[in-house]
């Protein structure tokens, strides 16, 4: 017996039997139903931990070779990719071109729905050329359903160029992508609370994976000292305060001394740490860091242990 025509084989498009009466549920029941579904997401992400680790290694390899991490997606998937890319410079001090987000419909699609753009195959291929994708880049397609034409075409074009490619999806992708991508990350979160609304569980899973991917890669590249963001860009009062507190904690100095060190280091918290810990000037601190491959721990030793949190 064949399945009815209205049944979609994609996991993200199937109906969820646990929420089929959500439209007659009380408000608190709606909250509980959504929360119960959300609770399944971390386990689905953990189930693909090996694939995420593989992707991190591919990103690190690409970045060490002077390549980039390029996210490409449509709709919610595209927005999440652009979001993750845009947060790398302030968090890790990376140049904006190191991690790039490409979204179907262009940047206007970030603030206004442009769902039809996901069907434009030619635009998907052209987007890779416009982004100047090269063989040394790692291109990660993000498509909750695994079938988005814009993303499929972009990945095909990237592969033709010679780039390393991956796919992040919450449903099984077409055979051609499964066979040609270098890594597949498939957190199976199951049917959504509202059928096909992949901004929900699939979106949450995507955010978790992208957080882990970019953060893991930057840690592997030496852009953290212990669990401290030593490569942050102090472009706001909050970040300037955080940078000063980091230097105070790891260098054992007061705030004025930390502030002076950061100023002498031209705003670099990482350089300031080495200067304070080793008692050297900016140039020598830079030499020590370069010798250590950019890793603060290798240049100055272990960071101090975590102190008790003030409650």
Yes or no: say if 73 and 203 are a contact pair by the CB < 8 Å rule: no
Spell out the residues 6+ positions from residue 25 whose beta carbon is closer than 8 angstroms to its own.
Answer: 33
Q: How far apart are the C-alpha atoms of 117 and 244, rounded to whole Å?
A: 45
Catalytic residue numbers read 87, 118
CA dihedral of residues 125, 131, 132, 137 (deg, nearest 10): -90
CB contact at 8 A, 71 and 85: yes
Helix, strand, coil abundance in the chain, percent, nearest 5: 55, 10, 40
Give dist(CA 212, CA 288) in Å, integer. Answer: 29
Cβ pair 171, 190 in contact under 8 A = no
How many whole angstroms separate alpha carbon 233 and alpha carbon 238? 11
Tokens of residue 307, six digits: 């102190």
CA separation for the pair 49, 43 (Å, rounded): 10
| Residue length of the chain | 311
Q: Please tell me the distance from the alpha carbon of residue 259 to that of residue 160, in angstroms, as a whole number.
A: 50
Q: Kindly give the interhelix angle for 269-278 and 237-251, rounded to the nearest 10 degrees.
A: 20
- The helix (run of H) or strand (run of E) holding residue 168 is strand 164-168
């Amino acid at each position: 017996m064949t399945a009815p025509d209205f049944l979609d084989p994609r996991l993200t498009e199937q109906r969820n039997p646990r929420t089929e009466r959500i439209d007659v549920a009380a408000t608190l029941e709606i909250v509980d139903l959504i929360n119960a579904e959300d609770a399944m997401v971390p386990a689905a992400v953990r189930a693909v931990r090996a694939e995420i680790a593989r992707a991190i290694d591919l990103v690190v390899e690409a970045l060490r070779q002077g390549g980039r991490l390029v996210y490409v997606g449509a709709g919610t998937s595209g927005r999440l990719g652009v979001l993750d890319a845009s947060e790398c410079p302030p968090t890790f001090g990376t140049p904006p071109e190191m991690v790039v987000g490409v979204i179907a419909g262009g940047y206007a699609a970030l603030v206004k729905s442009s769902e039809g753009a996901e069907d434009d195959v030619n635009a998907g291929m052209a987007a890779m050329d416009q982004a100047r994708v090269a063989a040394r880049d790692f291109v990660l397609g993000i498509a909750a359903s695994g079938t988005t034409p814009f993303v499929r075409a972009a990945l095909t074009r990237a592969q033709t160029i010679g780039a390393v490619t991956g796919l992040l999806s919450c449903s099984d992708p077409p055979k051609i992508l499964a066979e040609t991508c270098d890594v597949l990350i498939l957190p199976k979160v199951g049917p959504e609370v509202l059928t096909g609304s992949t901004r929900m569980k699939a979106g949450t899973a995507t955010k978790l994976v992208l957080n882990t991917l970019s953060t893991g890669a930057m840690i592997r590249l030496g852009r953290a000292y212990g669990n401290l963001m030593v490569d942050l860009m102090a472009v706001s009062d909050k970040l300037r305060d955080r940078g000063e507190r980091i230097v105070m904690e790891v260098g054992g100095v007061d705030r004025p001394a930390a502030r002076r060190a950061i100023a002498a280091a031209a705003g670099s918290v990482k350089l300031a740490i080495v200067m304070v810990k080793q008692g050297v000037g900016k140039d020598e601190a830079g030499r020590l860091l370069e010798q250590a491959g950019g890793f603060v721990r290798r240049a100055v030793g272990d960071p101090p242990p975590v102190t008790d949190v003030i409650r």
